[in-house]
Chain A
Amino acid sequence: MARLAEKVAQRPIIIIGAGIQGCATAFFLSQRKKRVIVLDKDNIARHASGVNAGGVRRLGRNLAELPLSITAMDWWNKIDKLLCIKNGFNRQFYVKVALDDYGVTLATKRISELNAAGFEHENWIDKESLRRRIPAITKIAKGGLIVEGDGWAIPWKITLGFYDRARALGAKFLAPVKINRIKRYCDHWQLKTDFGTVETDCIVNCAGAWGGRIAKMVGDNLPIEAHAPMLAVTDQQPMFLNSVIGVMGATLSLKQLQNGTIIIGGGIRGKALPEKNESHLTPAGLGKFIRTAGEVFPHLKDAQVMRAWAGIEGYTPDHLPIIGRGSQSGIFHGFGFSAHGFQLGPGVGEALADLVMKRQPRVSLAAFKPSRFENDLI
């Protein structure tokens, strides 16, 4: 009997996907002395978690995500210590600029909506204060929504940070490895991979844009679409910005790194071909968000785009992530972050680790439950 119990206790937890969600979950579980193996079909931070705009923000989130985002922000404020890295989080402020009356209206609505729900982190910043804090901003800016303490990070640095720490605490990572089949066998799961068969009691699905495919293998039909939000990086520019910028009512995210280069993104989509691991840029789409950048910072006229790219990201119909138990025993999902999962990562990792260990997560995950899509798919 003791031998059998021992054998059962030896089965590692399998996490599928080595993006930030998978690596953060692996980290928290390993910290709690659990045996973890992470499988990835490519390599660590290969897709969205390696190439996103790196925004670390509470600003602009769906209300349902705010508790999780705020919890995650606690981790961000200690990220150097957590991951044994330096300058992991560039803590600044984040402003969504209102360029016109429509933008101002949106901002006013947003503040009342938040206050009604008990949140006070987003405030209005008026035109003069905005221009004082960001001298280079366009003269036509009417003000904006500001969150102090939001900022940015380098996505691969943080994801690799979680990976390194998880490994140091005993987690194993296997990549590239293809999962061909997942089968329920007696009281546990068997994953048939091209490296052989792995047995586990518990699978955590953090497979991002490919999360739907994995979910199907374990009997869950969850809606996810792959898209490719585009980004660009410029040459070195004289420093003019120490905050992250968005635009009310338009798609933009813009920040300046310490080396003077500017990362411009926001979410305008190119073409995603997830089955080929390819994403294609569209010239017209690039033109669009670059022009929006020009509306906020017209002085950047002659800055040059050195490189553009697009990660492959998974989007759910309601743009809220899927976090929670699957329909079968031992299955947990954590994917579908719809282009805003990076900041949530540390919080999600902790919450998934709680779920796996049958503990109550610190925040309610009710808004993200996988079963919310059950009726839609019939």
Chain B
Amino acid sequence: MSKSHFSVAIIGAGPAGISAAATLNRYCIENIVIDDQVGPGGQVYRNILDNDNDKRNFLGEDYFKGYKLVNQIFNGKIKYQSKSTVWQITDGKEIALVTDGKSEIITADYIIIATGAMERPMPIEGWTLPGVMTVGGAQTLLKQSAIAAENAVFVGNGPLLYLTAWQYIQAGVGIIAVLDTTQAKNWRAAIPYAGRALLQPAMIKSGYDWLKEIKKNTNFISDVKNIEIIGNGKVTSVQYETGNGVTGKIETNNVFIHQGVIPNINLTMATGLSHGWNKSTFCWEPETDYSGKSSNDYIYIAGDAAGIDGSKAALIAGRIVAKEIINRFQPSRVSKLDLMIERLRYLHICSIRPFLNRLYRPSENFRTPKLDKTIVCRCEGVSKSDVIAALTHRIAGPNQLKAFCRAGMGRCQGRYCGLTVQELIATHNNENMEDTGYFRLRPPVKPITLAELASLKGSWPD
């Protein structure tokens, strides 16, 4: 039987996870990296080991810089287990996972959750139509399969949207329009944070370059406050209205939507870790101390899973968390000075975040749907009006809502509707978002077949 106990188990083979594994490896601490994708790299460095710089240089320099890091996953004492989905972490330091239809339980002295981020739901009218995808999805198609949609419309805001649109332009793929939903007033509101942002001139320059290229090569429409995707069985056009009252209709079969990224909290919440509501990024984050430790003494969280700070910060966070764990095995093995320098690096790299967060704050126009008929819960087909109707029953929070409508009970387990439902309830009950709370999430963190679950106890009966 293969080994089932590790000193450290890392969940997620993105920049934070691999950085942590490589650091532990340098200090000779054996560890396992469990990841559900076919190859390492997470989202940001997806498919990097296969991508050839010559052929896919439309992806940009920053992407290819990740090659060396990601390759470290094959180093010495790191056991890399791909295509494995973790479905539960217990308080007994057990990790239940499934690989190729078979479940197993492994144990570890310490666990690092580095499961990264996902895109914030953007429930605009028509968002469930075939032909609508997330911007992250469009970028994944570029990285994984070098596939792009001609004459698409990009809708929303945020660095990932601008980067992906820029990559499309580099690849020679025509974009009809970018409907930017950044509210005009955000520019002024972000000024107080601009000073600190200047500590990251390279990042600022990148962003500026992207936007310049985009405005040169597509129809860039700012301050969009209303969007409807139209179609019957598939997308045929997008209608929009700007803050100045300018309206328009664009014919297209592909729409890519995005309004920022948020930590993917399903595993951390199902594990029972404490979470807090971040007022400036409008999302839930697991509570961690300065060392990356969660509310559970042996579980650490690194990278975007702890809070959105970007891939460069994730690299440093992975190192910090690994070093903190190394010191728990062997006190003072990593010096206080070393850790202090790492933390300063981290703070420095994050100096642009407050500016980006304020500038690209998701607008209230798009956090919940405008129209009653718009789908809120994609999995169960629950519309805004269904949720509002259920709220007439004096619902205390998202969990009581489940008794009256099926929002949140589908396969994605609230990933694409949780924040929307929470805000609809908070608005209706006239309370703060953190007081409303979120769905009570439980294992399994992803749907798992009866045979896969039962395989813990033997093969499936004939």
Contacts and interface: CB of A to CB of B under 8 A. Distances in A.
B97 to A, nearest CB: 9
Interface string B442-461: 11100111110111111011
A290 B449 CA distance: 10
Given A156-B403, A235-B411, A307-B413, A287 B447 contact: no
Contacts of A43: 396, 400
A308 B456 contact: no
Interface string A141-182: 000000000000000110010000000000000000000000
Contacts of B413: 306-307
Contacts of B252: none
A288 B453 CA distance: 9
A291 B91 CA distance: 23
A308 B440 CA distance: 11
A77 interface: no
Contact of B462 (A288, A298, A306, A307): A298
Contacts of B434: none
A239 interface: no
A306 B410 contact: yes
Nearest to B379: A306
B448 A291 contact: no
B260 to A, nearest CB: 27
B389 interface: no
Given A280-B272, A287-B455, A295-B461, A300 B447 contact: no
B447 A235 contact: yes
Interface in A275-329: 278, 280-284, 286-288, 290-291, 293-295, 298, 300-309
B411 A138 contact: no
A281 B453 CA distance: 13
Given A286-B453, A287-B456, A290-B450, A298 B403 contact: no
Given A304-B447, A305-B447, A287 B460 contact: no
A141 B457 CA distance: 21
B20 interface: no
A283 B444 CA distance: 9
Contacts of A290: 450, 453-454
Given A43-B396, A306-B410, 16 more contacts: A157-B403, A280-B272, A281-B90, A283-B88, A284-B105, A287-B455, A290-B453, A293-B450, A294-B454, A294-B460, A301-B460, A302-B450, A303-B450, A304-B411, A304-B450, A305-B453
The CB with the most chain B CB atoms within 10 A, among A286, A288, A293, is that of A286
B444 A308 contact: yes
Nearest to A303: B450
A132 to B, nearest CB: 21
Contacts of B454: 287, 290-291, 293-294
B403 A283 contact: no
Interface of B: 87-88, 90-91, 94, 96, 103, 105, 272, 396, 400, 403, 409-411, 413, 442-444, 447-451, 453-458, 460-462
Nearest to B87: A283
B406 to A, nearest CB: 9
Given A283-B96, A304-B447, A305-B444, A298 B461 contact: yes
A43 B437 CA distance: 15
A301 B449 contact: yes
A170 to B, nearest CB: 18
Contacts of B409: 306-307
A160 B94 CA distance: 37
Contacts of B449: 301-305
Contacts of B456: 283-284, 286-288
A259 to B, nearest CB: 9
B393 to A, nearest CB: 9
The main secondary structure of chain A at its interface with chain B is: mixed
A123 interface: no
A350 to B, nearest CB: 25
Contacts of B460: 291, 294, 298, 301
Given A234-B450, A308-B444, A309-B442, A287 B461 contact: no
Contacts of A302: 449-451
A234 B450 CA distance: 9
A302 B456 CA distance: 15
B85 to A, nearest CB: 12
B448 A305 contact: yes
Nearest to A233: B409
The 10 closest A-B pairs by CB, nearest first: A287-B456, A291-B454, A283-B96, A304-B447, A287-B457, A301-B451, A291-B457, A290-B453, A290-B454, A295-B461
B4 to A, nearest CB: 13
The CB with the most chain B CB atoms within 10 A, among A234, A282, A295, is that of A282
B401 to A, nearest CB: 12
A283 B452 CA distance: 11
Nearest to A295: B461
Contacts of B396: 43
A312 to B, nearest CB: 13
B102 to A, nearest CB: 11
A103 to B, nearest CB: 15
B272 A278 contact: yes
Contacts of B450: 234, 290, 293-294, 300-305
Nearest to B451: A301
Contacts of B105: 283-284
